[in-house]
Structure 1
Amino acid sequence: MPDRRLLTAAGTLALLGALPVAASAARVRWLSAGRTHLPQDVPHRGVGMVLGARAYPTFPSTFLAARLDVAVELYARGKINAVLVTGDGLPRSFDEPKVMKDYLVAHGVPATAVFEDGAGFDTYDSCIRARDTFGLTELTVISQDYHLPRIIAICRELDIDAVGVPDRTIRRRRGPKWVRGLLREQLANLKMEWDLFTRRRPQRDDPLDPTLRDHSLRG
């Protein structure tokens, strides 16, 4: 029989490990409460930001295409004037933003309304660069439903007025992968807390370029 003291210690450690995860998840829910909308009822924002995901040399993954489809719908409905596609622009990831832009243009969004950020290496980088590199103070953010609350939470902590429109199709189409993504989010919340606490600079810190902000205001 296992030593009762060892079992008690293991249970205590598991509980202590679970508490920060639960606390961070609760804070994300609080910060994002009431800010997730359907495409037809989301308030207008000048810019919609689509977060990157796996891409292939000439086409997006299923997860990424689902996010982009939401952006296409929002643009067609007049809910956004421009789209910021943000992700890893390095060859190792097949230049996610370029793949994203090509997809949007092929589905009816004018090329002049799509702006690329190739240094959105993670969610925090994408959000802080939206503020500091592109000069944005409000956004509609677009991703899968399990990811969206964390994006909104980060934006709000960075003083960006963010609302979100989720993709909910992946839950139905790719259930097991959706569940894995949901579980990974719990640990990603802890990384978010560290990034916000340290106020770390993005991995690439470019000067302000107001082109996207000014274009969205004219659109």
Structure 2
Amino acid sequence: MRRVKKFFTGLIILIVVAAVIIGFTMVTINSHVQSKEKDNIVCSVTAAKDSLLSSEVKKLDKLDPDCILVLGAGIKDSQTPSAMLKDRLDTAIMLYKAGIAPKLLLSGDNGTVSHNEIHVMLKYVKAAGVPDKDIFCDHAGFSTYDSMYRAKSIFKVRKAVIVTQSYHMYRALYIAEKLGLKTLGVASDQKKYKGQAKRELREVLARNKDFFKVMVKPESTVGGSTIPISGDGTESHGE
């Protein structure tokens, strides 16, 4: 009986120690990703500040980006972006019209007929007056990692301004850097979003996952023929 008790006591201690080590490691990695990329977030565009300061424009101009990369964020229905995605698209359109970059690269999940982020994103930016030739669509941006990998491998992007919400931006910039892309971020936060606490928690886990993933650099889920960002984006629309 004593041996059994000692065994379970030792097992509990091992579990507690392992949990502490794992927790410490996760917190450390999370902090590392955030601290490494915080200076690469040029600004956060809010509802009260829908234009860029001259200092911010200079920093973005110095990068000389090939494109503005917009990451998908869900849709309400087959015609309507989610609130988060709408804010990302509005920010990207503002940057495009300000002359920050000559192209938009829309990267989202088009994995099923009923969930076609790209169709919604493309329709939205076209309605805002962005010419077809300046819009590139990545239909296989199933994850942040895939979006970054394919931006480089399929669309031959070298430098980009990434648009997403600030909580997600750190990981996007970190992955891009580790894959050899030069990037800066413009965060698209314009309001408080419902369910943000859950997203923040998931993001901590995702930062840890991708911290190790970029060490291996696996290929994206889907490959494909190259569509250089320097050309005409119409062929990528798939409509």
- TM-score band, normalised by shorter chain: 0.7 to 0.9
* Alpha-carbon distance, 1:61 to partner: 0.8
Q: How does 1:162-201 map to 2 (within 5 A)?
A: 162-170=183-191, 172=192, 174=193, 176-201=194-219
Instruction: Return the alpha-carbon distance in structure 2 between the equivalents of residues 143 and 46 of structure 1.
Output: 17
* Alpha-carbon distance, 1:215 to partner: 5.5
Instruction: Return the alpha-carbon distance in structure 1 between the equivalents of residues 87 and 38 of structure 2.
Output: 23
Q: Does 1:113 align with 2:134?
A: yes
TM-score (norm 2): 0.80
The two structures, once aligned, show a CA RMSD in angstroms of 2.2
- State which of 125, 132, 155 in structure 2 corresponds to 1:134: 155
Deviation string, structure 1 residues 29-69 (Cα, Å, up to 9, x no partner): 24313111136114132300011121221111111111111
Instruction: Return the alpha-carbon distance in structure 1 between the equivalents of residues 28 and 140 of structure 2.
Output: 30
Q: Structure 1's 66 and 106: CA in aligned 2 closer, same or farther, altered over 3 A?
A: same
* Alpha-carbon distance, 1:131 to partner: 0.5
SS in 2 for 1:49: strand
Aligned to 1:104: 125
Letter of the 2:89 counterpart: L
Q: Does 1:26 align with 2:44?
A: no
Letter of the 2:203 counterpart: E
SS in 2 for 1:208: coil
Gap regions ≥5 residues in structure 2: 1-7, 44-50, 234-239
Q: Structure 1's 190 and 93: CA in aligned 2 closer, same or farther, altered over 3 A?
A: farther
SS in 1 for 2:42: coil
Letter of the 1:73 counterpart: M
Q: Is the contact between residue 71 and residue 142 of structure 1 (CA under 8 Å) also seen in structure 2?
A: yes
- State which of 12, 17, 20 in structure 2 corresponds to 1:12: 17
Q: Which runs of 4+ in 1 moved over 3 A?
A: 3-11
Q: Is the contact between residue 132 and residue 207 of structure 1 (CA under 8 Å) also seen in structure 2?
A: no
Q: How does 1:137-152 map to 2 (within 5 A)?
A: 137-152=158-173
Q: Does 1:49 align with 2:69?
A: yes
TM-score (norm 1): 0.87
Gap regions ≥5 residues in structure 1: none
% identity of equivalent residues: 27
Aligned residues: 210
Q: Structure 1's 93 and 138: CA in aligned 2 closer, same or farther, altered over 3 A?
A: farther
Greater Rg over alpha carbons, structure: 2
- State which of 147, 151, 154 in structure 1 corresponds to 2:175: 154
Q: Does 1:71 align with 2:92?
A: yes
Letter of the 2:80 counterpart: F
Q: How does 1:79-90 map to 2 (within 5 A)?
A: 79-90=100-111
Q: Is the contact between residue 57 and residue 94 of structure 1 (CA under 8 Å) also seen in structure 2?
A: yes
